[in-house]
Amino acid sequence: MSCIIAMAGKGGVGKTTVACLLARIIKENKLGSILVVDADPNNNLGETFGLRVKEGLSCILDEIGTDPKIVPINMGKDAFIEYRVQSAIIEADGFDLLTMGKPEGPGCYCYVNNVLRNVMDKLSKNYDFVIIDNEAGLEHLSRRTIRKVDTMVVVSDPTVAGLRAAERISKLTKGLDIEVKKEFLIINRCDNNISLGKPEDFKIKYLGFLPIDPEIENFSRNGLPLMNLSSSNKTMSALRKLGEKIWLCN
């Protein structure tokens, strides 16, 4: 059984950074095979790994949704979508990356989303871990292309706005008719002097904090892949301590 971990949070809180570093830690600990899914339309998760993404699944939605004739005569639509999904996966060192993208065309994607859901079910069975980096609105999950989430990691910064957004996202998740087994709050770029209330008062189970990190800020400013962070990086060290509760999905 694969462990599906979904990241969520308002823009700019660092959920993409957490997704990348979590994948790196799972990889370095040799815990199993990993599929990382970039479900944020900004499509910048690949850059944190130092990967160049050429094609996202938005191409499938756009092309088939607006022009069904692109499906070869000798290939069923389901088989064609599955083929395109497989071709869009980037095989990297120790993990695979799949970029969802955002549909741009005017077509109807109901059928495509339904088939894509079945393809994602098949894909997830091929990996021990599936890490999904969502946009703030959880658009990928709202399409129900994933039926269940083992661990939802809601990332916030140490601000009232960030925590309110985290609570809204938690409520939205509960309304999506998707099974979420566990849900945790991580506060990023925090010095642990949280002046917004006691962790036990938060409406989401508080897992811990990640520190203010000049090394990561420097990497982000210069567009450097986070996979090249030093192994002693303090955010990496903090996430290692929190990680087991995230990836132990049973």
Neighbours of 184 (CB within 10 A): 18
Q: Is this prediction's pTM over 0.85?
A: yes
Q: For position 248, what pLDDT does the model report? A: 78
Residue 130 tokens read as 């599936």
What pLDDT was estimated at residue 184?
Answer: 94
Structure tokens belonging to residue 92:
């990297």
- Cβ neighbors of 249 (< 8 A, separation 6 or more) are 1, 3, 4, 5, 150, 151, 181, 182
Distance CA 195, CA 177 (A): 34
Q: pLDDT for 110-160, tens place per residue?
A: 655 666 677 778 888 899 999 988 876 666 566 666 778 899 999 999 888
How is residue 142 written in tokens? 């709202």
Which pLDDT value is given to residue 113? 62
Who contacts 57 (Cβ-Cβ below 8 Å, separation ≥6)? Answer: 84, 85, 88, 98, 99, 100, 101, 116
Where in the sequence is the domain holding 57, given as residue range(s)?
3-247
Beta bridge partners of 34: 129
The closest alpha carbon to 8, from 104, 149, 160, 113, belongs to 149
Terminal Cα distance for the chain, rounded: 10
Domain count, the chain: 1
Report phi then psi at 26, rounded to 5: -60, -40
CATH of the domain at 216: 3.40.50.300
**Residues in the chain with pLDDT values less than 50:** none
Please report, as a single letter, which amino acid is at residue 230. Answer: S
